[in-house]
Structure 1
Amino acid sequence: MARRVAVRAPTAASLPDSFRIPSTTFSLIKALGKLSRSSLLDLVIQWLDDKDVKAFPPYLGPRSVVNFVAEEEGLSAYPPAASVEELRAIYEDLRDRKGGKREVIDRILEGDWRHGISLRQLAMVDMRYIEDHAVGLRWTALQLVPLKGDSAQSQSGGDASTPFPRFHASTFLRSIQHEISPLVKAHYYMYRSKTLPLTFVRIFVVDSPYQQPRQSPYIYTDSSRIIYLAFPDSTPYIYSSQLSSPSPSGAKTATATSSNALTMDTRTLRRLVKDAIPKALSRPQQRYTLKTTSLTAKSLHTLLSLRGPGRTNSANGAFTVFADAVIEGCPLDPRLPQSIVQENYNGHAGSIPGYAEGGKENIPLPQPQPQQQSPGKSEADIHISAIGRTRRPPFQQSGGGLTDTAAMQLAKKRKLVVSSRFGTAGDHRRIPPPCGPPAGLLTKIQKTDKSLPSPSSSQPQPHPQPPPQPAPVPLPALDRLEIHLHDPPIPSNRQGGDKGDDDDDDDDDDEEDDDDNESYKTRPATLSLTFFGSDVIAGVRQLAELGVVDPARMPSWMTGEDGVSVASVKGGRRRR
């Protein structure tokens, strides 16, 4: 009887969840090794759950219905379990005792899932890594805006409903598959975050599995082919991320040795998916496009604070005192400016030596204690040795005496200007608000609950237990700030001409700036600056407090008011 020939017919369907990657693929060790031991064991126990074990069937013994080869039982270091319950007990025992992470990985790849890891299992590993590491990836905020023709038509119709579409995960996956299926093959996985109001969509793209020669299995673990999309609730923004880590060496070798002219670059694959996102979210007579927001950050909490559904999207910088409810009222209240004073929102006003609460000069500055001169050391030697250990305020002399009060007034004025420009942004000395109802509200609800029986006076009153405090929300922090200057570093000085000619020249310059508003994007920047750190805005604030940067002349995007991480400056103004 002739041997059957496998027929591989092209189809527009996506890659199935049950598509298995051989367990001998070396890059799977690196993919599973990203998780900690406890997270990996929790994920394996989830695979062995009664409702998920059919989707991730393990390699069991001869009593199971799973294919079993008797010859492999004696060759493997991990004999197969007889049932799922026995295998679940094995991993429960591994979770209860201490040990290394590599033994868990070896048991998964060489024992219980020796027949391969499915694409869905690999996607669950990646999403668990994002949950455990909040700053593991770099995310870019994109805004979903309607096209001009469609937006004008919706406004003329008088429809009071929101023009933005509602996000349905199943509908979105079906629509984006319809858009990119003629060009590439992809695998989709949706995940709802347990800690953030986000819905993640993981998209793995590949050219086509019907190529000859067949692609290497290392390509299914290539991080450059994975696109993560995060859809926050009730906001027209989308967060996109691509892993910036290098691909495994095996994937690089496989890509380099591939000589098929029909293969596409990974950048082209990502561009195809990015172009298909607004099309998948569009509806008949309502078309949308993606617009950049000049905001890129590692922390998802920062993106939710600056481009999220909360009230902090347009309340950054100086307006954070109103968004954080540090002071009463709002910027639109018809009150005198003197009603909003600095001590209401500057929690570190007392850090200025010589000033008490309210900025009063009613506390004398501490006088330095005279140092005892040891034999063999002069006064100059003592002064030089103390320079590296003490940090004196800028208005103190090297000997410890005070200068005139003008320097003190200047330091206080600089503090006031910094507080008025930054608000609470970049101030890590303030306590972040908790993510939940206040403790007073919980106590009030317990007191007013009539369903609880009132204890008699004869019975001993137990000591009331305080309600558990919710975990504080991390403060928004930009880890990177890029500045691209498109103006010459040394401006050209005009020579000759009167004042009227200068005014005419200024008007002409304004017109030229308006004409070149879009042309600057194609020109290279004359000077580029990049600031790195855990919180760049906090670092800029410290520079302003020390007098290195003038806070009065500082642009708003440096104080965090604009909420951007990339600024292209031309003509002294930030171009969008």
Structure 2
Amino acid sequence: MARPRTVRAPTSASLPNNLRIPSTSPSLSKTLGKLSRQSLLDLALTWLDDQNSASFVPFLKGDERGSRDDDDDEALPYPAAETVEEVRQIYEDLQERKGGKREVLERILEGDWRHGLTLRQLAMVDLRYMDDHPSSLRWTALELSRIDPRRKESASKNGSEDWSANLPRIQAASFVKALQQEVASLVKAHYHLARSSTLPLTFLRIFVVDSPYQPPQQSPEIFADSARIIYVAFPDSCPFIYTSVAASTGAKPAAPPSTSIATDSRSLQRLVRDAIPKALSRPHERYTLKATALAAKNLPTLLALRGPGRSTAANGSFSIFADAALEGSPLDPRPADTVSAEDHILGGQRRPLGTEDKENGDPENSASQKVCKRPSSRRDTDTVPLTPDSKKRRLAVESRFGTAGSSLNPAPLDRLDVRFLDALDSGLEDEEEQPSSTHPVVSLSFTGSDVIGGIRQLAELGVVDPHRMPSWLTGEEAVSMATVKSGQRVKMS
């Protein structure tokens, strides 16, 4: 009698949290190996906490999942403990004494979790690595905007739009369930929500298996493939979200023949981006995601430039007031409470000629009137003579950059991509005959630890003219991608 054929049907269920990855998987050891010794110990103690021990049960003596005899178990390098409290005490002892990371790593994979780690544990490992290395991923800022033509008309008339009216109320469990329903017809995924321990952010980690069907017996390496992971960060009380797709490290495992979509980073990111506003939407209350032309590796940079504390109108020259570098306000009618730009450059305040020199009785300090300390926004505290030209140039730099590119600004951009759309002069007199195209004629990329800071230093040295610099080069528009035509930045759809 012929064996009946197995019928595989799609299922909307997500991958379970307790799906285990064998501890012998090389990719699992590599993922855990990225963490420091202290981070591994902190994670192990978190798994063994009273509130989590039921979800992350270690391998204990007499466990039904083990088939070894007691004599064989005693011969192992890490014999199984009898209770969770005993395992917890082992890691507390490891935390109190010095040692290597390899010792803790082998204890986890070959001892207490020899039966494997779950998908939820693996997600916690990745998020702990992000907390330890906040610049490990490149994030893109997107604006969450409500689709309402009437609100758009009123906002355009008033010239502003209320952010609080655009923010939907997000309940974590309901949002994840709605997001799962949006992507369940295309892929199977595992979702993990966690709160950042250092930033006002909530992270959502999404691991995707590129098939809506119940997956067959697959290689365990696929569950540690970083190219299948998408991260979404929700900052507190602002209409922006940050998305990132982890870059794959190493060879990708072979995909099963039933693959329905490609698992390249662009496809996964597009899939999640399209599903997020739909999951947040409700009847008669629809949302969409709009690009903000800002991408950075530093999450504090995104929080400073696309976060709850400010908007793009508080950058550039006005950043000296937004960052509290100066007292007062440019709109304050009382000049006594406002520090001028010249006073700020000379050190923040003026003093009568020779006042402190006479009080201290030190005639040598009279020469300090000609040598001024660099302002607090500078990166160093060396003293340099201020010539009339350098003083004038520094005033111009302060008026254009504000605190952007200085030590007072906590938002350094590591990359700035510029595309120029101006066509080359073809000698045609009629402008209508000029070829029009959205393809850039010239593309420039500035990279470094602080791009705006480097451009600021060039302006201070007189290499570039700060008066003629466009606003997107001084940090005023707070963008990392600029498309320029006729000297002005244009917004590309």
TM-score (norm 1): 0.72
Residue by residue over 1:17-50, the C-alpha shift from the partner in whole angstroms, topping out at 9 and shown as x without a partner, is: 0011111110001110111100110110110111
8 Å Cα contact 1:209/1:215 also seen in 2: no
C-alpha RMSD of matched pairs (Å): 3.7
Q: Distance in 2 between matches of 1:412 and 1:155?
A: 43
Matches within 5 A, 1:383-462: 408-428=387-407, 430=408
Tell me the equivalent position of 2:58. Answer: 58
Q: Distance in 2 between matches of 1:153 and 1:316?
A: 27
1:67 and 2:65 are equivalent in the alignment = yes
Q: Distance in 2 between matches of 1:340 and 1:349?
A: 7
Letter in structure 2 aligned against 1:118:
T
1:137 and 2:137 are equivalent in the alignment = yes
Q: Distance in 1 between matches of 2:218 and 2:263?
A: 14
Residue by residue over 1:149-198, the C-alpha shift from the partner in whole angstroms, topping out at 9 and shown as x without a partner, is: 36459989xx9971331222112101101111111111111111222111
Matches within 5 A, 1:446-485: 475-485=410-420
Matches within 5 A, 1:512-527: 520=438, 523=439, 525-527=440-442
Q: Distance in 2 between matches of 1:346 and 1:324?
A: 16
Q: Which one of 168, 171, 174 corresponds to residue 171 of structure 1? A: 174
Q: 1:87 to 1:6 in 2, by over 3 A?
A: farther
Identity %: 54
Tell me the equivalent position of 1:117. Answer: 117
Q: Gaps (5+ residues) in structure 1?
A: 351-355, 367-390, 396-406, 433-474, 496-504
8 Å Cα contact 2:188/2:213 also seen in 1: no
Q: Distance in 1 between matches of 2:154 and 2:175?
A: 23
Letter in structure 2 aligned against 1:28:
L
TM-score (norm 2): 0.83
Structure 1 position 201, deviation (Å): 0.7
Structure 1 position 93, deviation (Å): 1.4
Structure 1 position 409, deviation (Å): 2.1
Matches within 5 A, 1:138-287: 138-149=138-149, 151=151, 162-208=165-211, 210=213, 214-244=217-247, 246-249=248-251, 252-255=252-255, 258-260=256-258, 262-266=260-264, 267-287=266-286
Structure 1 position 493, deviation (Å): 6.8
8 Å Cα contact 1:225/1:270 also seen in 2: no
Tell me the equivalent position of 2:376. Answer: none
8 Å Cα contact 2:144/2:241 also seen in 1: yes
Residue by residue over 1:365-395, the C-alpha shift from the partner in whole angstroms, topping out at 9 and shown as x without a partner, is: 79xxxxxxxxxxxxxxxxxxxxxxxx998x9
SS of aligned partner of 1:345: helix
8 Å Cα contact 1:18/1:120 also seen in 2: yes
Shifted more, 147-156 versus 318-327: the winner is: 147-156
Q: Which one of 536, 553, 572 corresponds to residue 468 of structure 2? A: 553
Tell me the equivalent position of 2:421. Answer: 486
Tell me the equivalent position of 1:461. Answer: none
Residue by residue over 1:64-113, the C-alpha shift from the partner in whole angstroms, topping out at 9 and shown as x without a partner, is: 5x533224625632211111111111111111111111121111111111
Q: Distance in 2 between matches of 1:6 and 1:97?
A: 55
Q: Distance in 2 between matches of 1:235 and 1:247?
A: 33
Shifted more, 311-320 versus 336-345: the winner is: 336-345
Q: Distance in 2 between matches of 1:341 and 1:43?
A: 52
Q: Distance in 2 between matches of 1:546 and 1:126?
A: 43
Shifted more, 123-132 versus 310-319: the winner is: 310-319
Q: Distance in 1 between matches of 2:150 and 2:276?
A: 18
Q: 1:551 to 1:176 in 2, by over 3 A?
A: same
Q: 1:120 to 1:365 in 2, by over 3 A?
A: closer
Tell me the equivalent position of 2:81. Answer: 81
Q: Which one of 482, 486, 493 corresponds to residue 567 of structure 1? A: 482
Structure 1 position 214, deviation (Å): 3.3
Shifted more, 212-221 versus 234-243: the winner is: 212-221
Tell me the equivalent position of 1:455. Answer: none
SS of aligned partner of 2:313: coil
Structure 1 position 347, deviation (Å): 6.1
Structure 1 position 233, deviation (Å): 1.0
Tell me the equivalent position of 1:386. Answer: none
Q: Distance in 2 between matches of 1:20 and 1:87?
A: 20
Structure 1 position 269, deviation (Å): 3.2
Q: Distance in 2 between matches of 1:151 and 1:173?
A: 28
Q: Distance in 1 between matches of 2:456 and 2:111?
A: 55
Q: Distance in 2 between matches of 1:301 and 1:27?
A: 30
Q: 1:85 to 1:348 in 2, by over 3 A?
A: same
Structure 1 position 326, deviation (Å): 2.8
Structure 1 position 308, deviation (Å): 0.5
Q: Distance in 1 between matches of 2:277 and 2:121?
A: 28
Tell me the equivalent position of 2:96. Answer: 96
Structure 1 position 311, deviation (Å): 2.9
Q: Distance in 2 between matches of 1:232 and 1:153?
A: 28
Q: Distance in 1 between matches of 2:398 and 2:102?
A: 51
Q: Distance in 2 between matches of 1:212 and 1:278?
A: 28
Q: Gaps (5+ residues) in structure 2?
A: 350-354, 357-365, 373-381
Q: Distance in 2 between matches of 1:182 and 1:173?
A: 15
Structure 1 position 60, deviation (Å): 0.6
Tell me the equivalent position of 2:459. Answer: 544
Tell me the equivalent position of 1:292. Answer: 291
1:531 and 2:466 are equivalent in the alignment = no
Structure 1 position 147, deviation (Å): 2.2
Q: Distance in 2 between matches of 1:534 and 1:138?
A: 14
8 Å Cα contact 1:150/1:286 also seen in 2: no
8 Å Cα contact 2:329/2:338 also seen in 1: no
Structure 1 position 554, deviation (Å): 0.3
8 Å Cα contact 2:328/2:339 also seen in 1: no
Matches within 5 A, 1:276-355: 276-311=275-310, 313-333=312-332, 341-346=340-345
Letter in structure 1 aligned against 2:202:
T
Residue by residue over 1:470-502, the C-alpha shift from the partner in whole angstroms, topping out at 9 and shown as x without a partner, is: xxxxx11111111111224x546788xxxxxxx
Q: 1:115 to 1:197 in 2, by over 3 A?
A: same
